[in-house]
Amino acid sequence: MNSELLEKQQRYFHRGETKQVKFRLKQLEALKRAIQAHEQEIIATLHDELHKSPLESYSTEIGFVYKEISFIMKHLRNWTKPKRVKTPLTHFGSKSYLYPEPYGVSLIIAPWNYPFQLAMAPLVGAIAAGNCAVVKPSEYTPKMSSLLNKMISETFADEYVTVVEGGVDVSTALLKLRFDHIFFTGSVPVGKRVMEAASKHLIPVTLELGGKSPVIVDETAHLELAAKRIVWGKFSNAGQTCIAPDYLLVHETVKARLLEKMKHYINEFYNNGHYAKIVSERHAKRLVSFLEKGTIVYGGRYDIEKRHIEPTIIEDVALDAPVMQEEIFGPILPVFSFSSMDEAIGIIQQFEKPLALYLFSESREVQKTILEQIRFGGGCINDTLLHIATPYLPFGGVGESGFGAYHGKASFDAFSHYKSILKQTTRFDFPFRYPNYPYALKWMKRLLK
């Protein structure tokens, strides 16, 4: 069945309709209208499955996609035009161009933590670039998966865009097919399997993964704002965010004051019922097991059956403890103190390159040092998470945190191939390029040096 669907989309793509800019804009507008029509249903489903508040659902899922659609529609005509680029003197008489073209049929595999946004935002890029698309939502959020299927099937013909529901077996079957591009968001271990499957057909991939994203607070930081913004960034969606602060490194002289302020903001933000659930009992049990190695500074209470783990801060954690061996992806924040920035950098460099890094410091020298010495996907200085929300900043990882980027223009680029074209003149022809010219080598040495 899936192979038949792929063949149907390939046939439709080769008709050329999706390459027309007017068509792409029309489909993006149709997608926006579909989201508007189902907005309340999306909010209700996110609350039902993940207990997200209407504010969190709109700001981090629905509104995010609206903004992405609006930004891309505004700029799409310009992006699709062939771009003339410089031509070197050695190619005198010719002109050089870059022609963006769609890959063809893209497979989008979405995760469960932001089940609407992380399925729809890549789809926006795929449509904008002129592709057909198969969207595979997560089986951990089946109600949202069903809603996405309903919404997309009402809006698009399945030969153009379709949703395929199911579990790991469905994903595995899809990955055996020869798509033209794969966009995957999820964990590092699954990302490796996706890349392995793609390599069998040499399919280009975009991998949006994760990792242990640190947040650093030095002695010059504005502690009040640092506490507020770390708490918001860490415990939004109950910590189930790929770019959430995974662990905290704080200068020993301000540690006690920072933690007290963080406790205050946890109470202020999340004791009013606006707090998400863990996606499944299996994930909740995994998170609770992390609490066995360390001292609980705040929180620690949980109800696995209700999939509830309160915001928790722990310390006295060894760097080789289980909680530090993988991305936490939940509302648990290990805290480490440091006495020098070199010590903090040394801790971070013991782990794989993170998807995000956050630094709270008023020192420009410290900011410069961190940006120059630590490799990571992206991040913020004196804030958390917000770098993901600007269409002018490509979002993506490096190393084990992924590769490739999207959002805004980068979304168009992620689903496009740029053809390099040289247009040569026929008004004249240089003889020294040919092997029968007696001074060919002399001229080549003069030109190519």
User: How distant, in Å, are the alpha carbons of 118, 200, 330 from that of 206?
Assistant: 13, 16, 24
Mark whether 242 is an active-site residue: yes
Q: Which residue is catalytic, options 61, 208, 310, 327?
A: 208
Mark whether 154 is an active-site residue: no
For CA atoms 158, 168, 32, 395, give the dihedral sign: negative
Q: Which residue is catalytic, options 242, 310, 352, 400?
A: 242
Secondary structure of the chain in HEC code, one letter for each residue: CHHHHHHHHHHHHHCCHHHCHHHHHHHHHHHHHHHHHCHHHHHHHHHHHHCCCHHHHHHHHHHHHHHHHHHHHHHHHHHHCCEEECCCHHHCCCEEEEEEEECCEEEEECCCCCCCHHHHHHHHHHHHHCCEEEEECCCCCHHHHHHHHHHHHHHCCCCCEEECCCCHHHHHHHHCCCCCEEEEECCHHHHHHHHHHHHCCCCCEEEECCCCCEEEECCCCCHHHHHHHHHHHHHHHHHCCCCCCCEEEEECCCHHHHHHHHHHHHHHHHCCCCCCCCCCHHHHHHHHHHHHCCEEEECCCEECCCCEECCEEEECCCCCCHHHCCCCCCCEEEEEEECCHHHHHHHHCCCCCCCEEEEECCCHHHHHHHHHHCCCCEEEECCCCHHHHCCCCCEECCHHHEECEECCHHHHHHCEEEEEEEECCCCCCCHHHCCCCCCHHHHHHHHCC
Q: Which of the residues are catalytic?
A: 208, 242
